[in-house]
Amino acid sequence: MRVVKADDYQTWFIEEDDYGVLIDPWLDKKLNPSNSVLLQRERNEASSLSQDELDKVKIVIITAPFIDHLHIPSIKKLNKKVKIVTTKKVKKILIKNQIENSICCINNQGMEFGPFKLSIFPAGFPYSWTAFCFFLENNEGKVLFHEGHTANFNALKRIGKKCDTVLITLDEVKFLGLITLSMDFKEGLRIASLLGAKQIMATGTQPNEVKGLIKYFLSTNQGHELKSNEFDLYTKKGDEVLL
């Protein structure tokens, strides 16, 4: 299993035997149109993925109904044969935006596609009802865990599932200084330790790059010198791990 941090934010590319999975794709230089005043994020390169890698994508997993996870212009760039795996709420938004791809809604039983098995669980507070986290396992028993916001420590402890690699937030973001929207480095290490992971790959990186009115409501603690003697850390666009 090849796991690639596909951009400087939170898009991921997973590949096994030329079968590609794309997570929360944002494939443009701008998150929103230029006239957007509420939320904007810009960058010089759309992503680190080649056209060959994008052509391998068979499944897209969309974990939340927010524009930085559910980016309609990016979805429209993909082949119509690509299947989308997501929630019922996101499905309604996709249909409203005339997305023609096949859409499969998640369930508690999980699902299998290509060489992968997907196990779904609720995200942590305050995303429990709007987003989900998941374990993705290949045929050799290699497992990754993805949580794009805040992990529910007690729920994961109760589940008791282990993994090789975690894709989690390490840069803390809070709304009005009170509600945690993204885990900090200490909490990320705690989750990785609980799951028995060997590698930590950071998602939701560089939160200070967000612009617009929303920034007045957010406080960030962005880690620049993240180091650990216990885990291998991957935080840069283009970083990859082979499982």
pLDDT, tens digit (0-9, with 9 covering 90-100), for 71-117: 999 999 999 999 999 999 999 999 999 999 999 999 888 899 999 99
Q: What is the pLDDT of residues 29-74, one digit of tens each?
A: 999 987 788 999 999 999 999 999 999 999 999 999 999 999 999 9
Place of tokens 């929303």: 214
Q: Classify residue 102: in a domain, yes or no.
A: yes
Q: Which residues form the domain of 24?
A: 2-235
CA distance 150 to 4: 21
Q: Classify residue 241: in a domain, yes or no.
A: no
CATH of the domain at 109: 3.60.15.10
Q: Classify residue 175: in a domain, yes or no.
A: yes
CA distance 48 to 224: 21
Total-model pTM: 0.96
State the average pLDDT over residues 7-15: 97
Number of domains in the chain: 1
Q: Classify residue 243: in a domain, yes or no.
A: no
Question: DSSP characters for the chain?
Answer: -EEEE-SSSS-EEEEETTEEEEES---SSBSS-TT-SS-B-B-SSS-S--HHHHHTEEEEE---SSTTTS-HHHHHHS-TT-EEEE-HHHHHHHHHTT--S-EEE--TT-EEETTEEEEEEEPPTT-TTT-EEEEEEETT--EEEE-SS---HHHHHHH----SEEEEE-SEEEETTTEEEE--HHHHHHHHHHHT-SEEEEES--GGG-BSGGGGGEEEE--SS---SSSEEE-STT-EEE-
Q: Classify residue 21: in a domain, yes or no.
A: yes
Q: Classify residue 172: in a domain, yes or no.
A: yes
